[in-house]
Amino acid sequence: MRLALVLILVAAALGWWGWSRPVRPAPELIAGLSAEGLSGAPCPARSIYEQDARRKRGPQPSSVFALRLREKFPLGTPGEILRETLTAEGFETVTPCANDDSVLGARWRGRTWGAPDAYVYWRVDLNEKLIFLDGHVSRAD
């Protein structure tokens, strides 16, 4: 019984701590964008079934977020400029593809259910210049 009471108090304290922390605003890069779901496929297909599903779905149009990224960071831009900008806006770097180390990624995860989640994927060439850039917003603010 005491253990249950202690666990309830710990859970309540953690909940209060999570709710009392200030909510960070969405980064400028995703401000005002609506959720478009998963629009790109930066990683190679992991199976023949996934490859067939992509082929049947056909090419997907670029998301508004991807177009915004490409306007701000045209192909040929040094990848470090993109990475620095994303870090300054609160994005965290991630490894998006388990089956392709050449794809780099970053994500912004909102702290509340209504806050946006955004993902950015890119590749650089041997000179560290962007050769691929994509992204999507999965929830909107």
- What are the residues facing 122 on neighbouring strands? 104, 133
- Residue 27 tokens read as 């980064």
Greatest mean pLDDT range, 22-31, 49-58, 66-75:
66-75
Looking at the DSSP bridge assignments, the partners of residue 124 are: 130
Q: What is the pLDDT at residue 38? A: 62
pLDDT in tens, 30-47: 888 777 766 666 788 888
pTM, entire model: 0.73
> Domain-by-domain residue ranges, the chain?
24-139
Angle (CA) 112-115-121 rounded to 5° is: 120
Q: How far is CA 103 from the centre of its chain?
A: 13
